[in-house]
Each structure stands twice: as C-alpha cells, then as structure tokens.
A and B are shown apart, each in its own frame.
Chain A
Amino acid sequence: MAGFFREVSRRVFAQELKDSNLTSRDESDQYAPQYLLTPTGAKVNRIFIVGTLIEKEDIGTDSEYWRGRVSDPTGSFLIYAGQYQPEAAQFLAECELPAFVAVIGKTSTYTTDDGNVLTSIRPESVQQVDELTRNLWVLDTAKQTLERIRAVEAQEDANSKLAKEHYSTDIEIYREMVRKAIESLKDNV
C-alpha cells in the first residue's frame, strides 16, 4: 500500500500523559508525525480519551480559542480548540458542564521557560457520551496501560527500553495508578 497509514489512537491515563516529556520526530521529513513517548512506553501521536469535561474557558484574544479540562480517575487532560478545530471548538462553546466527553486528537507539548514540558491535546473530535462509555474507556485504558507496564518490566521492545532509560520508570507508581482507576469501576459492574 501507499505510504499512508492511520496513526492508532493510544490509551493513556491523564497522570501518565502529564508525566511525559520525551518527544521524537523524524527530522529529515517536515511532514513526519511527532510522537510523545510516555513513561510506560506508549508512543503517542493520536490519543483517545473519555472523561468528564469539568472546565471550559475561551482564552482567545481575537478569535475564539477554547481550553477545556477533561478529568479521568487519575488526573486531567487539557484540550485546546481554535479556528482550526472548528467542530471541537463549536462543541466546547455550546456544551454544558459537566459532561462525559470522548475526545480524539493529537498530543502536543509545550516547554516552559524553566524547562517543564506541558502536554495537551488538540482535538479532532469531541462528542458527548454516556457514563458506560466512560467506564469502558477506563477499563480499556487500564488494560492497555497494564500491558505496557508488563513490557517495561520485561524490557521486551524498543519503546519500553527507551521509556525505562529516559524516565527510570518506577512501575509501582503506574501499577498503583491503574489500580486506583479500576477500583472505582467495581461498583458499576
């Protein structure tokens, strides 16, 4: 097939995404996608999250530029939508808080003056969903995170090796994160 393939949307909890700061990109190709490597070795370009939209604010000066905060059991994601994400911006402008939302988008990073890396999501799509979908996502993300934790433990592929090397990943922290996330689901089954 042609060179095009669709980036898989990864499943990562907010806490882990917040801890991520290693970006990579093929410098020889200006159209090459940028990836963010997380502490458990997820190589993220596109991401799929479901959580609760708890804050929204139009922070644009000239035109509308919306910032939304979506929380999951481990923390929160920031999403930014402006004129180039018209559908997502429209959703944020019109929706009522709080709401369960599913967000599909690309991760982006910003390095502050003192060297901190902030992660956020540029949404391709934001849709309102139900609580079940949110719970399904938590379980899905827990399962995939746990698989990555096992891979880091076993050091079985390039991404998990690189993650371990860069973050000195303490897997207990992330196991605890996953445990906390799914603990809350027990009552919902």
Chain B
Amino acid sequence: MKQTAESIRDRFMKLGIDVPVEDIESRLDELIKKFKVPSNEAQRSVTNYFLKKYSIPKNEFYVRQAEPQLTKVADITENGQWANLKAKVVQLWENTHESISQVGLLGDETGIIKFTIWKNAELPPLEQGESYLLRSVVVGEYNERFQVQVNKNSSIEKLSEPVEVGGGDFTPAAREAELRNIVDLVGNQWATVRGKVVQLWENSHESIEQAGLIGDETGVIKFTNWASSELPDMEEGKSYMLKNVVVSEWNGKAQVQLNKSSSIETLDEDIEVRTSVFTYVGAMIDIQTGSGLIKRCPECKRALVKGACAEHGKVKGEYDLRIKAVLDSGTSTQDALINRELTEELAGISLDSAIAMAADALDPGVVLDKLKHELVGKYYTVSGHKLDRYILVDSITPMASLDRELLDEMLAELEVE
C-alpha cells in the first residue's frame, strides 16, 4: 500500500502538486481495509479524489499518463484497452444515433478499424481523408469486432503528415467492384446489387425514405433507403444499380440498406426477377385479432393498439381494413396478410360500410365477426411475396371446383385392388 501511495504521490508531483503521502495512505487504507475495495479500484478512486480536490481535469492527467505509447490498428486486441492512434479517416458514415457525433473508419498502415466519437466528447469534427493523432481512445467490442471509441477523456490533434493506410476490403475503391447476386448476400458486408424494384411498401417511419423488395435473377431481398441517404426515390417495376449498400441481417434474414455512401443508378434494361412469389393452397381456419376494421397511425401507418401508436403515442387514427389469416393445408399452416383492397373484394364489404357497421353496433368487432363468417372454413389459393412468417397476399382466390383429375386418379387407384 505504501508503494501505491508513493506512486500516486509521484504522479501528482509531476504536475507540480505535493500531496502529503499520509493523506493518500489513510484514504487507501480506509477503502481497502475497511470497505474491502480491491486495491486497483482504491488507487483509482483516491487518485480521482485528489484530482478533484486540486481541480485538475481528468483528461489532462490521464493523457499525460498515456502519452508515450502509440498503438497500431493491428495491435488492438483487447476489449477495454486504452490506446493512442495515429490514423487517417478513411470514411465517415451515416450517423445513426443522437448521442453519436461521428462514426466511420480509421486506418493506418496496419489496418482499418471502426471508430465512434460520442457527442459528449465535445471534440471538433474529423474530416474524411485527413490524418489525426487520437489520444486516449477506448477499445470496445461489438459483434466480435473491435472498434475505438472517442470519449470526453480523449483528445484529437490534426497531423500535417498524412498516415499511409494499408489496403483492405474497406477501401472504397475495393468495395465498389463487388457486384453480388442477391441470393449470395449475407450480413455484415458491403455490396453492389443490380435488381428490379419488385414492391414498394407503405412507409413505416419518417427516417425511412423508401422500403420494399428488390430482386434479380437469383432472388428477392428487402431494402431500406434511409431518409438521411439523400438518394432519389426508386419506382416500382424499374431496374437499378445500387452501389455500396450495406447488407445486414435481421431475424436471420439478409436485407440491404442504402446510406449516404451508397448510390443509385437507373438501368435501361428490365431485370428478370426470379419469381419468389409463393403460392399456398389451404383452408382458412382462423382470422386473428388485429383483423377487420382497424385504425392506423396517420404518421407511420402502424396499426394502433388501444388507440395509441407504439411510436407516436395517442393519435387520431385512420380506418383501414385488413385480414391476418391462418391457412392450413392439413400438413402445414401459413399466415397471410390480406390488404384492404383484397379484403373488400373477398368479403364484399367496403371500408365505408365496415365503418357504418361498426358505428351501428358500437363495436368494431362486428366487422371481424362478419369476415370470419364469410371466410373461415373455406378453401383458398393465395399467392404473394413471403416476409418472415407471412405471405403478403397479392391475390387470393376461393377454390371454385373439385379437382376432377385428382378424383379420377384416386378412384382408379382404389378400384384396382
């Protein structure tokens, strides 16, 4: 303990402050012996106490400590490690959170690493392509990858001499060439994709410019174009080249996201999409709650629960009709989402008459009952794109006649023996 106290004293001496060693010792003693604090924690706590007492900014103190060693990107191997880096800003990314000031990639001759500058670090913004000395950054780990975090104890100094950046997949030039088939896309990579917009969805969130499905000869994938990407809108049925999109994975499914570093080029050709239209034949055996006459949030179109939107709280909802149906073939089940247009056609009621029915009965549940009455127990063929456990139904047809061929075939088989 004596040693620890001495070393704390020495460090303060370097700043020109003479802290009585007995003071340090007695504080350490109390923490370690009386309060059973581990000695390294006690050391930190005591050090911080005196820093505060003498009004020494923490970062100044710790920077001086850490100054001598410079770490190379390739040597970042430990979560929680502090480091000083000389590196070039290879790329700045889309800022994804309000508490983040900047995020992107830093590189030196040994490698490239993701960095995050927190807003509360209150540091001037970095410029892409410039080199900096970053002091006292912390190594964090996310998704089994290291990244550096710049916080309020860190400092940044611009360097006049540029840092050489070693190659790697992340250099923009290397990325641009990676044109991939949609079926081959997996999470956590950058890619360039060419495909046709198969479907555009109702926009579910203000931070999303467009979302939908894009497909090529090999498959179909969900895409999200964030509003902050400042990219133009795409049209349904047209083909595009999407450069530098991020492939991420959600619920085990790959999807592509367009951000500020992505680009969209309109193609003249009409890309043939491998049809992933899914067809299912079965009896409708249930219509689930949340079907019938529902209200949606006017802003994000989400269905309201008890008059409130999950995102926007209490809102004046807009009426809509839809069916969440369960179809069953006898060997499997399939959930299907049926939109207003098809619901109206199928059940022979319009949205207006549904609203009137509900008003009459003082209960929107009568619409659900009517739908069940009309549809449950009957056989249908539905087709549409598959999303998670649902088919987004494009067409639904009641089965109109017996399959004569099947009947004859079965009779023949049964008669023979």
A contact set with B: CB distance below 8 Å: 1, 6, 8-11, 48, 50, 101-104, 124-125, 127-129, 132-133, 135-137, 139-144, 146, 175, 178-179, 182-183, 185-186, 188-189
B330 with A186: CB separation less than 8 A: no
Question: Which residues of B are found within 8 Å of A189, using beta-carbon distances?
Answer: 401-402, 404, 407
Question: Which residues of B are found within 8 Å of A132, using beta-carbon distances?
Answer: 399-402
Cα separation A182 to B402 with both chains bound (whole Å): 11
B328 with A9: CB separation less than 8 A: yes
Report which of B286, B389, B403, B407 forms a contact with A104, defined as CB distance below 8 A.
B286
Question: Which residues of A are found within 8 Å of B302, using beta-carbon distances?
Answer: none
Tally of contacts, chain A with chain B, CB under 8 A: 95
Contacting A at CB under 8 A, from B291-348, are 326, 328-333
B89 close to A (CB within 8 Å): no
Q: Mark B59-72, 1 if CB is under 8 A from A, else 0.
A: 00000000000000
Question: Which residues of A are found within 8 Å of B379, using beta-carbon distances?
Answer: 133, 136-137, 140
Question: Which residues of A are found within 8 Å of B401, using beta-carbon distances?
Answer: 132, 189
Question: Quick one: given A139-B406, A144-B330, A179-B415, are A104 and B399 in contact (CB under 8 Å)?
Answer: no
Report which of B285, B286, B330, B411 forms a contact with A140, defined as CB distance below 8 A.
B330
Cα separation A128 to B283 with both chains bound (whole Å): 14
Question: Which residues of B are found within 8 Å of A6, using beta-carbon distances?
Answer: 326, 333
Cα separation A185 to B409 with both chains bound (whole Å): 13
A/B interface sample: 11 pairs, CB < 8 A: A8-B333, A11-B330, A102-B377, A125-B372, A127-B372, A132-B401, A132-B402, A137-B283, A137-B379, A182-B411, A188-B402
Question: Which residues of A are found within 8 Å of B410, using beta-carbon distances?
Answer: 142-143, 146, 178, 182
Report which of A48, A129, A178, A188 forms a contact with B285, defined as CB distance below 8 A.
A48
Cα separation A10 to B414 with both chains bound (whole Å): 22
Question: Which residues of B are found within 8 Å of A8, using beta-carbon distances?
Answer: 328-333
- The residue of chain A having its C-beta at the shortest distance from the C-beta of B331 within the complex is A8
Given contacts A6-B333, A127-B377, 4 further A-B contacts (CB under 8 A): A48-B283, A144-B330, A178-B410, A185-B407
B2 close to A (CB within 8 Å): no
Shortest distance in angstroms between A161's beta carbon and chain B's nearest beta carbon? 18
Interchain residue pairs A-B with the least CB separation, the first 6: A102-B377, A179-B414, A11-B330, A127-B377, A104-B285, A189-B404
Cα separation A1 to B335 with both chains bound (whole Å): 15
Report which of A50, A125, A127, A143 forms a contact with B406, defined as CB distance below 8 A.
A143
Shortest distance in angstroms between B302's beta carbon and chain A's nearest beta carbon? 22
Question: Which residues of A are found within 8 Å of B268, using beta-carbon distances?
Answer: none
Question: Which residues of A are found within 8 Å of B285, using beta-carbon distances?
Answer: 9, 48, 104, 125
A139 with B407: CB separation less than 8 A: yes
Question: Which residues of B are found within 8 Å of A183, using beta-carbon distances?
Answer: 411
Contacting A at CB under 8 A, from B72-109, are none
B378 close to A (CB within 8 Å): yes
Q: Mark B350-389, 1 if CB is under 8 A from A, else 0.
A: 0000000000000000000000110011110000000001
Question: Which residues of A are found within 8 Å of B329, using beta-carbon distances?
Answer: 8
Question: Which residues of A are found within 8 Å of B407, using beta-carbon distances?
Answer: 139, 182, 185-186, 189
B377 with A10: CB separation less than 8 A: no
A127 with B411: CB separation less than 8 A: no
B269 close to A (CB within 8 Å): no
Question: Which residues of B are found within 8 Å of A144, using beta-carbon distances?
Answer: 330-331
Shortest distance in angstroms between A166's beta carbon and chain B's nearest beta carbon? 22
Question: Which residues of A are found within 8 Å of B286, using beta-carbon distances?
Answer: 104, 124-125
B144 close to A (CB within 8 Å): no
Cα separation A104 to B372 with both chains bound (whole Å): 12
- The residue of chain B having its C-beta at the shortest distance from the C-beta of A147 within the complex is B331
B399 with A179: CB separation less than 8 A: no
Question: Which residues of B are found within 8 Å of A9, using beta-carbon distances?
Answer: 283, 285, 328, 330, 333
Question: Which residues of B are found within 8 Å of A140, using beta-carbon distances?
Answer: 283, 330, 379
A129 with B378: CB separation less than 8 A: yes
Shortest distance in angstroms between B337's beta carbon and chain A's nearest beta carbon? 16
Shortest distance in angstroms between A185's beta carbon and chain B's nearest beta carbon? 6
Question: Which residues of A are found within 8 Å of B161, using beta-carbon distances?
Answer: none
Question: Which residues of A are found within 8 Å of B206, using beta-carbon distances?
Answer: none
B417 with A175: CB separation less than 8 A: yes
Cα separation A51 to B378 with both chains bound (whole Å): 12
Shortest distance in angstroms between A140's beta carbon and chain B's nearest beta carbon? 7
B376 with A127: CB separation less than 8 A: yes
Cα separation A42 to B122 with both chains bound (whole Å): 68
Cα separation A95 to B267 with both chains bound (whole Å): 60
A102 with B411: CB separation less than 8 A: no
B414 with A175: CB separation less than 8 A: yes
Shortest distance in angstroms between B334's beta carbon and chain A's nearest beta carbon? 10
Shortest distance in angstroms between A97's beta carbon and chain B's nearest beta carbon? 17
- The residue of chain A having its C-beta at the shortest distance from the C-beta of B388 within the complex is A1
Question: Which residues of B are found within 8 Å of A104, using beta-carbon distances?
Answer: 285-286, 376-377
Report which of B326, B332, B413, B415 forms a contact with A146, defined as CB distance below 8 A.
B413
Cα separation A140 to B410 with both chains bound (whole Å): 11
